[in-house]
A = this chain, B = another copy of it.
């Protein structure tokens, strides 16, 4: 089994590494990072580089495709090479998944039309404009399509998907070994829970990013 995590310039690191950490130990599976070209790919902050070990062309038919998000997504909504690859990979994948605004790329490739899906809370409107049916859930399964909400939701998505792929006991073991018993020090992880002023500030700033 091949699990391919797609990288692109200005991706969000935790979007990619969260599901990677959950899924990379699947027995018999090979997990790798893939990008248009092999080599180091820089994240949204500019201070982290993760190496894409294979090019898209070298991996025509992975079993699992995972697309992270990040501000770099917006420049790729008409990226023929990436969207063509996503469509071709999806034709034979067992699971096609995304984290955060990665779902916008799946939607732009036409893969989420009419499907229940999610994205970063700031991107749900855009997701709808690209033909999906956004939900407020953290992890959404619709057939073989699995989408996660913003950034850290990729961990929950990865662990849930691991359970489907390798069984509940394997997933529980990974949860135990990664000590995934979260205790956020604040309770501001969703627009419903965060102070209204912070939510508004984020919305105002995002108008320049998400269009």
B175 near A163 with CB under 8 A, answer no
A202 near B179 with CB under 8 A, answer no
A132 interface residue per 8 A CB criterion: no
How many copies of the polypeptide does the oligomer hold?
2
A151 interface residue per 8 A CB criterion: yes
Q: How far is the CA of A31 from the CA of B43 in the complex (A)?
A: 13
0/1 string, A142-182, CB within 8 A of B gives 1: 00000001111101100110010000110111011111111
On chain B, the residues within 8 Å of A199 by CB distance are 176
Q: How far is the CA of A176 from the CA of B188 in the complex (A)?
A: 6
A195 interface residue per 8 A CB criterion: yes
Contact among B14, B172, B180, B193 with A178 in the assembled complex (CB-CB below 8 Å)? B14
Given contacts A31-B45, A198-B173, contact A156 B179 (CB under 8 A): no
Given contacts A14-B18, A47-B32, contact A190 B185 (CB under 8 A): no
A89 interface residue per 8 A CB criterion: no
Q: How many interface residues does chain A have, given as a range?
A: 35 or more
Contact among B149, B177, B185 with A179 in the assembled complex (CB-CB below 8 Å)? B149
A178 near B150 with CB under 8 A, answer yes
A57 interface residue per 8 A CB criterion: no
Q: Which residue of B lies closest to A32 (CB)?
A: B47
B31 near A20 with CB under 8 A, answer no
Least CB distance, A13 to chain B, in whole angstroms: 5
Q: Which residue of B lies closest to A150 (CB)?
A: B179
Segment at the B interface, from A48-56, A59-67, A75-83, A108-116: A48-56
Q: Which residue of B lies closest to A152 (CB)?
A: B180
On chain B, the residues within 8 Å of A182 by CB distance are 152, 155-156, 180, 182, 184, 189
A33 interface residue per 8 A CB criterion: yes
A207 interface residue per 8 A CB criterion: no
